[in-house]
Amino acid sequence: LYRFHYSVTRLSRNPAYTIVFQSFELVLRNMIEAHYSDHRELEKCLPLYGRLADAMRKGNAEKSDEYLLRILTMASDYLGYMLRREN
24's CB contacts (< 8 A; 6+ apart) are none
Query: Along the 87 residues of the chain, how does pLDDT read in single tens digits?
Result: 999 999 999 988 899 999 999 999 999 999 899 889 989 999 999 999 999 999 999 999 999 999 999 999 999 998 888 888 877
38's CB contacts (< 8 A; 6+ apart) are 78
pLDDT of residue 33: 92
The rounded percent of the chain whose pLDDT value lies above 90 is 79
Model confidence pLDDT, tens digit, residues 21-37: 999 999 999 989 988 99
DSSP conformational letter for 38: S
